[in-house]
Structure 1
């Protein structure tokens, strides 16, 4: 229980006035005062759902399916399991993401009807307007099966690092990171994207079960201010969307001002160019949270989750985008020549046994070698990117120094022909603590892919009788590991 949760009277009055009559205020308050159930999402870039279920059974984890996400589960663990979920071997290897169940719904809504089961949607360009910390970005990337390009934008500079770390841990390679106010995309990249997710910054009324302090600075005036920003963001997203494309607008708040009213503002502004697509069939039971417009408005007592709002919007016609003046510096990368590309690819295969993906191209900057998703190329020179794809290697006089992030992203393929070494549990813990490994086997030479339980942990290098630890320093953990 969260006995100290404070719900402002004006907030409760607002909920009372707008909540459907079949829902109870008493149950609403009680739900707000209950801690959230822990939930996770399986990262299918790394492991199948069935294989993960087997892992969970070995740990005696109880998984209950989240009805609106076929890779999402509520998880219960034994009381005597003292290792934090984020410090388990499976989490550190990127096999799952700790994600609140409600926040899995926007991506499911974006994908609805856009692809066949088990197949990636036919999208080349997707935008996540407010991406940090990366839960929906990595969910989208997994659904896209690392195809196309996913532009993940984050306005807060302090959250970019965490976003990149989560993208890297989950083996995502089709992401380009940007750091802008989301209101720029309509002018800078008009009608560029097949699909857009706008999980808008909001007053956070639905998060109180996770954060008892969420409502400390809440006021009706602040709600109105936030709604103005949300209108500007959804307007920009509309212009950045191709005609025929789909936009999902979502928030983790409950008031109509930031939710239904923002969507209606867009419809009133652009008329028949905008339609709302009903989410009534998104999952069994969705009708319990359905609004008259076909939006989903999740009060916390309905599914015992965070409060959330999700709307699916289709764009039918062009509109004149904002006029902008672009001042971009020189793009610091150049495409690798065919000869260089063949040499790099062949050396990568020879030294580690890994292949480069077909839908990617090699780009060079000074002594760095980068792997860009091919779908990014129409956007190059149109907007500044903080980071594109993955850094594959650094060149030196004896060849290439392969990078940890490339191994994590590209070793989702079969490792049968790769140069690997399997660690024991004790060695795996030492690896994550930044220590070198001393295997009990005949020493070899060169780089080696380090694994534990068949999962890739990173890249090491044989130095005499030991394997030098190549884990980036910011990923080193010091205690309470698996």
Structure 2
């Protein structure tokens, strides 16, 4: 691999006697990983049904290496949102940030959504997840991934973080900043990043990172925790960005991250960094661990000793939205005892805009002027005298949440036909399930909707998600 001379000089200075071992790691095979969606299935149950050759990732409880021969992106379980395909080291930031149920969480630079999907799984339908990417095109991929994962309590935003901050000052319990960076840690995985590095190297990204990390600190509640990560080795983007935060926001301090075999501590190459306890940060090097390069730093914001109520106790109700009879009828069919959102109080939190029906979070303040791509959970669309449930709603549900279900094993060829958008012949379900909207499932896990009648299912799987 033709690595830039300046980069090699930087790495020699950084690694010293470890430099040769690092260069040798470029001869190792690329590693592939998937992370189980624990909101839909336990790790134990997933391993019972997994058709792949999996090896645990030691520092990620729900992460696994898979063989290059396996194709998990071409399996129905992927479309059911049972797992996310992610480089093993990239699983670290969302794993380290200690998100608890009920937290108000912000993923600031989120696309394509690998970290947001794990944050949402940790919330398990509670609290609020605001996930953002400044790029509109990348935010569309983010939206799809969080919806595939079945996260109901999510707002997808596409804004410069500076535009978000004024309305969310000291608002979030937890913030994750996986900052845009020069990508040095991913050179082995994607050599196209080398040319990008030569055009826009660490100096370019460091300026962006320093603005972002200060903005994040301002949106964090006293007592809250914020994680900063990059996939680069540059001290300018890693330790120096941490230094910039700690100097300019003295109410922030580093806290410990649990170390695993192979984790390296951040560099403390002067007295100021030693006093700031930069040894509490973590570096992942590919010659020491089975993963690509990463840097992770976990901060806490000082508080006055009192634990603030999650979400500041704000409850935002919609303005007496009148629900159409067909919408109320559909919601009435859902099992209120098992569904992963509050059916009982749904009317207080439903917003209807341009005939689209959204279930909004009571913790999300109204934010005019922001480019919000998804306002909570899209339940569906009101059409003339009928309600059509959305793909996003199907992914939030469990098979037990809805009375009319068609469930096929992954081995049935009709599952792939469904994912391709084809009409299905299902004579064996005639008389066993109701006519009309049916939740189509694979091995008990929802994939989407269809309209069933006389042994035939008219496919309603979302066109943009179909099997290619």
TM-score (norm 1): 0.84
Q: Distance in 2 between matches of 1:343 and 1:463?
A: 19
Q: 2:295 aligns to what?
A: 309
Corresponding residue SS for 1:457: strand
Question: In structure 2, which of residues 33, 38, 56 is the aligned counterpart of residue 39 of structure 1?
Answer: 33
Q: Does 1:185 align with 2:176?
A: no
1:400 aligns with 387
Query: Residue 278 of structure 1 corresponds to which residue in structure 2?
Result: 256
Q: Confirm or deny: 8 A CA contact 1:352 1:419 kept in the other structure.
A: no
Contact 1:433/1:477 (<8 A) preserved: yes
Match of 1:329 in 2: none
Contact 2:57 2:64 in 1 (8 A): yes
Q: CA deviation at 1:382?
A: 7.6
1:122 Cα offset (Å): 4.3
CA 1:25–1:186: 2 relative to 1, 3 Å: same
SS in 2 for 1:386: strand
Paired with 1:216 and 1:287, the residues of 2 have a C-alpha distance of 28
Is the 2:222–2:301 contact (alpha carbons within 8 Å) kept by the matching residues of 1?
Answer: yes
Deviations, residues 86-130 of structure 1 (Å, cap 9, x unaligned): 01121121111001111111112211xx6xxxxx3441x211111
Hey, what's the Cα distance between the residues in 2 that align with 1:475 and 1:341? 29
CA contact (8 A) 2:339 2:398 kept: no
Structure 2 residue 191 is matched with structure 1 residue 212: yes
Report the Cα offset of residue 15 of structure 1. Answer: 1.2
- Work out whether 1:14 is the aligned partner of 2:2: no
Cα displacement (A) at 1:383: 4.1
Shift of 1:25: 1.3
Distance 2:358 2:145 in 1: 19
Identify unmatched segments of 5+ residues in structure 1. 115-119, 319-332
**Structure 1 residues 9 and 413: CA distance shift in structure 2, 3 A:** same
* 1:348 is aligned to 2:350: no
- Range 31-40 or range 464-473, more displaced: 31-40
- 1:139 matches 2:118: yes
Shift of 1:306: 0.7
Question: Equivalent residue for 1:161?
Answer: 140
Matched, 1:55 2:38: no
Q: 1:71 to 1:161 in 2, by over 3 A?
A: same
Q: 1:399 to 1:341 in 2, by over 3 A?
A: closer
The alignment status of 1:97 with 2:93, answered yes or no, reads no
The secondary structure found in structure 2 opposite 1:166 is: helix
> Could you say what secondary structure the match of 1:52 adopts?
helix
- With over 3 angstroms needed to count, the CA separation of the structure-2 counterparts of 1:92 and 1:337, relative to structure 1, is same
1:440 correspondence with 2:427: yes
* Match 1:227 to one of 206, 210, 234: 206
Query: Structure 2-normalised TM-score?
Result: 0.86
Among candidates 52, 60, 65, match of residue 56 of structure 2: 65
The offset of 1:220, in angstroms, is: 9.3
